[in-house]
Every structure is written in C-alpha cells, then in structure tokens.
Structure 1
C-alpha cells in the first residue's frame, strides 16, 4: 500500500470519527431515570387516561408511552424549532435542552408492555384503497407498528381523533399556530380529502398497538 493511499485512508477515518463525534453531541444519549424527573410538564396531559385537548379542536392527546425514543426526540425538537406549530407544545419544548429532550424521550420509550398477538381488523375495501394510495406501511412498517426508521412514529392504536387532527395539520399552510412543516408527510396528506383522512385515522386507531397511557402516580 502506497504512502498516499495510507494517508488518504487515515484522513477518511479521521473525518468519519469527527462526524461521529458531532452526531453524538447533536444527539445525546437519554437517561430514563432522569427523564422521569423532568417529565412534570408532560404528565398533566399525557399521564391522564382520556385527557382531551381543545386546540385546534377537541381531541385526545396522543399516547406517547411506548413510542420510540428517537421519534419522541424528533417531535419535541420539531416543536422547539417551530416546524410543528402548536403554541403550548412549542412553549414546553422550547424550555427543554437537547439533553432534557433525550431524557424525556428515553423515559416514555421505556414504558414497554408485553402485547398479546392480536389479529388486526380487516379494512373495508375503501380503506384498503386509501392505505394503498398512501403507502403508509412503507415508512411505518408492519401493522403500522414497526417503523422502518426509529425517527418515524408508531401509528397503530393511536387515538383516532388525534391522528385525524395530526394528518390534517400536514395540509395546513400559512397559519402561525397550526401546521407541520414535514414535506414528505405534507405530500402524502394533501391528496386526501378530510373525510378520507378521517377514515384512515379511524382504521389505524383500531389496530393492535404498543402505545399506551401510563398514569402518573399523582393521578391514579
């Protein structure tokens, strides 16, 4: 091996190591125990079974216990940056450091439960066509419960009314308080009517799921 080849290989390794270090700093490891201590602002909504929000319309707040840590961190970061427009969530996320976000995400991701193998209900012919059109499983995985990338959410079993609101938000433009700036999901949601999105949300919400609400001890 020539000296030039060795030098090139060494430089490549050094650059790769540098990139790895930057990524590690940008994405700190989360600590679930610390996250439990930092989740005080979360439990008032996400720790009460059946709790409903009234903005931008009445809907159950999403279940986040059992979601992947990388997705929860991604969502909180999007609220913090204003890519997801929601005044309350932006205020909460904006008060969190990157380490806080990682810790809270690890805490909610740690709420795993053994799930019995349950058969998914068969979609109607109309919903089957909508699922095919949206190709939801290509990102959200088998049963819409096994995302192909950890930064994507589990959808199966999520509250249908929340899913409907979330899907509509990807269609919303030029609203300072409502909307989500995800180009991929925007492109997926916009071809559907709101009635079609509701049908999709109702079906997805009926699927077997890892998601749950873990009540905080204060509210039990």
Structure 2
C-alpha cells in the first residue's frame, strides 16, 4: 500500500479511533494465527453440516440473502464466529449457533470453508464502469481509496480480517455494506467499512455488489 493511500486511510479513521469501542475481542497474536492455521478441516466438514441449509453443502449458498463461505479466508470466518458469540456482530440465528461452538470448533469450520473452491459466477458478465473505477482508482475527492488495496485485485481478500469478495452473493454484499453504512453492523476493525460505506451511494453499492459477484 503506497504512502498516499496510507495517508488517506489514516485521515478517514483518525476521528473514529478517538471514540471507538472495541469492535472485536479477537486479537491476532502469532499464537492465535497459528491456532487458526492448524484448524482440522475434516472435523470442520462434519460441524459444517448444520450450516448447509443456509450456506450450501459445499459453502456456496443458493439463497441470495445468505453469504457463500467457500474459499473464504479462515481467519475472517473465525473472527466472524467469535464476534457472533461475543456480541460484536448481531444475528439471532448465528448468535445462537456460535454460542454452542468452542474456539477449536470455529477454527476447524474456518479451515474447512477456506479449503473449498470459491463460488463460480453464474450471473454473466456486465459492464460496471462505476464499480471498476471504485475498485481500481477510488475517488480522491471523497478520500476513498481503491477497494483493491485491501481486498486484492481479484477480490481474494487479505490475511486476518479482510474478507475475500469474489463470487459473493450480490444481495448479501449489498445488505452488508448498507448495514455498515447505517451503523447496524459495527464489528469492522477501526470502523473502516463504516467510514467508507457512508460515502457510497446506493447505486455504487449495488454496482460493487454485482462486480464482485461476477469475479471468479
């Protein structure tokens, strides 16, 4: 990440940091990273059977309101499960499910989903000029850095808390960014997505959702 982008991000997050409450209880220490890395995917596959109704047998959801988890970074999935359990992320069903999982269960499930091939695009290709500009150029007038600086040029995500977006359900993606924008969701580290999403229009969010859904 170059210095101009770093400066833009720091400027965006400085105000929120001064008043921010902890958005997660997950601390990515070397031991924690190693713990998640060593998750048992075989056990995770068995545990994930309870998730198939919403997230699909192989982590690819057929319902647009539920996210696909196949190919997602293990660290990201682990963090989300922890956040559901600890109350940093609210969802009646997921909170109930996460409450019954141990740390090892979460690491195992995260390992299983990360081992699966990511969703393949079934929506066809569309020209999405607005989304492409935001992904690769950002918008300097609004101090919006390009999306690829965090999520990767192919939507593959980055280690720890930045999710893979390629192939994700467009409806779920739209709902997620909207929830960040209105403050309904608040488990993003340093309020990053809350700050950024507040500068996006409905049209931009919808185009970004379609753009990432059609990546493979």
Residue-pair matches, total: 173
Contact 2:37 2:111 in 1 (8 A): no
Higher alpha-carbon Rg: 1
Match of 2:162 in 1: 152
Which ranges in structure 1 are unaligned for 5 or more consecutive residues? Answer: 1-18, 53-58, 209-220
- Report whether the alignment pairs 1:136 with 2:147: yes
Contact 1:172 1:180 in 2 (8 A): no
Distance 1:50 1:67, change over 3 A: closer
- Report whether the alignment pairs 1:181 with 2:190: no
| Superposed CA RMSD | 2.7
TM-score (norm 2): 0.69
Distance 1:33 1:128, change over 3 A: closer
Distance 1:109 1:153, change over 3 A: same
Match of 1:192 among 194, 200, 205: 200
Give the C-alpha shift of residue 155 in structure 1.
Answer: 0.6
- Report whether the alignment pairs 1:81 with 2:86: yes
TM-score (norm 1): 0.68
Match of 2:47 in 1: 38
Alignment of structure 1 residues 60-99 onto 2, 5 Å:
60-99=65-104
Which ranges in structure 2 are unaligned for 5 or more consecutive residues? Answer: 1-28
Match of 2:178 in 1: 168
Distance 1:82 1:31, change over 3 A: same
| Secondary structure of 1:143's aligned partner | coil
